[in-house]
Structure 1
Amino acid sequence: MNNKSEELVSYSNGKNESFIEYIELIKKSQLHWEIILNRPEKYNAITSSMYDRLTEILNQGAKDEELVLLSITGKGKYYSSGTDLTDPAKSFASTTTTDIETIAERGKNRLKSFIESLINFPKILISFVNGPAIGISVSTLALFDGVYASSSSTFSLPFIRTAQTTEGCSSFTFPNIMGSLHAKEILLFDQKLTAEQAQQRGLVTRVIQDDLLEKEKDEICQFILSLPKQSLLTTKQLIQRWNIDTLKIVNQQELNILKQQWLSQEFPQAILTFINRRKKSNL
């Protein structure tokens, strides 16, 4: 316990890393849970086990009768560098074709469960982007109810450079909120957006100065929690219901195509090139 009103639940990834808390769930109150991506030494890259835990928390929160607000942020300089590509790269380089098919199917199903838990989430879901965001940590932002970004945060989707395709329903949500040409610039051409550009394009609710993010985060959460609960959540459900079936279809189709791309000849080489480039740039 941090204090009487906060319960800390940690999740450790792997037997050899049992002392590293990669996902922190802080139950600030019955009404508000906070998820902290806590893998700063790897820029909060998301492993398979972390995806499983995030999905579990979202599904638990969806069923919790008292919960109103779930907020997500990152620890350290980065919000998240997206999916940890190191393990898939090793697996694809050292397994047979049959094994690769199994790995790809497992990965597809894991992402499907995670993204659907965001699509289905009936409570208020807020992201506080504390630094650079890459990959799935960007593509899923349009599924949130609010995105508050630090002034130093950036947003990029290196799908094509890694020989992958869109996920997180971004092939549907990004053109809807940005317009087709702006969406293609980030989805196809890996154009990195500043926080201000992301706000202008409708991906970010508000940009907050770095040194004020923690203070503003508390004030935003307090304001949300001060609103009438039933009216708030019922109105979210009304907004949500018109697109929820479409988003599930988009998610399934995106992941079917993504799996095919994982099995392509260009994917393993593109991943290795991308990882080596990141190592050279100290990311």
Structure 2
Amino acid sequence: MKSIEFVSSHNGAVVTIRLNVPQKRNAISLQMFRELIDFLRASESDPKLTIVVLTGTGTYFSSGNDLTNFTNAFQDPGANLDQVIKHGAQLVSDMVEAVAKSSKILVAKVNGHATGIMVTLLGLFDLVYAVDTAQFLTPFVQLGQSPEGASSYTFPRQSLLATKRLISQSFLEKVLQANEREIRELEERFKSDECLEAIMAFFTKKSKL
């Protein structure tokens, strides 16, 4: 089973990247980082490709960095820990750069909980589509780390957590007098895969104009 699956659709205009390590809650290994970086860089030379969708397998979008990236190295008496840390930091930096510089429409289909860098990177995406049950965790303070993924810049400007609450409040105020059945139908429609497919089809059509 591959850790990452790349599925092309809409005549090559849309590629869905599926994180496929559900037994590890789709934690990102060093190899997965490399595959994601290589794909985003290579996609720049593909004029047919318009939309890149990132999602996960199972109930988790991603639990962030796979901690075995570092624990395995720490248990190796012959490992150069300084080099291991620098290499890991460079991969994260390259990943952020690949996302930030991508000319494609980047869509995150957040199918479940997200942690760490897979939360902070969302601030660099063009569209984030999350299920209602998704929870976003950024435990940098608890771990004694600085924010990653350019989140110290993107989050104050477009905080995903605050925006979700504000949108919910605004939505409820506007539909307070509406028919409850219609509201439920709208909510189900917006949460459906068909809605996301329609959004992607819209962007694909616009990109050809």
**What TM-score do you get using the length of structure 2 for normalisation?**
0.82
Give the superposition deviation at 1:77. Answer: 0.4
Q: 1:34 — aligned with what?
A: 16
Segments of structure 2 that go 5 or more residues without pairing to the other structure are 172-186
**Between Structure 1 and Structure 2, how many residues are aligned?**
190
8 Å contact kept, 1:151–1:209: no
Query: Residue 200 of structure 1 corresponds to which residue in structure 2?
Result: 165
Partner Cα separation in structure 2 for residue 95 and residue 164 of structure 1: 25
Match 1:128 to one of 103, 109, 117? 109
AA partner of residue 22 (structure 2): P
Q: Residues of 2 paired with 1:139 and 1:102: CA distance?
A: 24
Kindly indicate whether residue 51 of structure 2 is the aligned counterpart of residue 72 of structure 1. Answer: no
Q: Identical aligned pairs, as a percentage?
A: 32
Q: CA deviation at 1:168?
A: 0.3
2:181 alignment partner in structure 1: none
- Match among 54, 76, 83 for residue 65 of structure 2: 83
Distance in 2 between residues matched to 1:213 and 1:36, nearest whole Å: 18
1:158-169 correspondence runs (5 A): 158-169=139-150
Does the CA-based 8 Å contact 1:150-1:209 persist in structure 2? no
Q: Are the equivalent residues in 1 in contact too, given 2:111–2:131 (CA < 8 A)?
A: yes
Whether the aligned pair in 1 keeps the contact of 2:50 and 2:207 (CA below 8 Å) is no
Maintained 8 Å contact 1:128/1:147: yes
Question: 1:118, 1:70 → 2: CA distance?
Answer: 10
**Secondary structure of 1:105's match?**
helix
- State the SS of the aligned residue for 2:65: coil
Cα distance in 2 between the residues matched to 1:154 and 1:32: 26
CA contact (8 A) 1:152 1:210 kept: no
Quick one: distance in 2 between partners of 1:84 and 1:32? 27
Name the SS for the 1:223 alignment partner. Answer: helix
* 1:101 alignment partner in structure 2: 82
Q: CA deviation at 1:92?
A: 2.5
Return the offset for 1:163. Answer: 2.5
Contact 2:30–2:69 (Cα < 8 Å) also in 1: no
> Is the contact between residue 74 and residue 130 of structure 1 (CA under 8 Å) also seen in structure 2?
yes
| Deviation for aligned residue 1:148 | 0.7
The answer on whether the counterparts of 2:189 and 2:195 sit within 8 Å (CA) in structure 1 is no
Structure 1 unmatched ranges of 5 or more:
1-19, 184-192, 231-283
Q: CA RMSD in A?
A: 2.4
Q: Aligned in 2, Cα 1:47/1:21: closer, same or farther, shift over 3 Å?
A: same
1:253 alignment partner in structure 2: none
Structure 2 equivalent of residue 3 of structure 1: none
One-letter amino acid matched to 1:130 = N
Q: Shift of residue 75 of structure 1?
A: 0.9
Alignment correspondent of 1:173: 154
Show the counterpart of 1:139. Answer: 120
**Of residues 215, 224, 240 in structure 1, which corresponds to 2:203?**
224
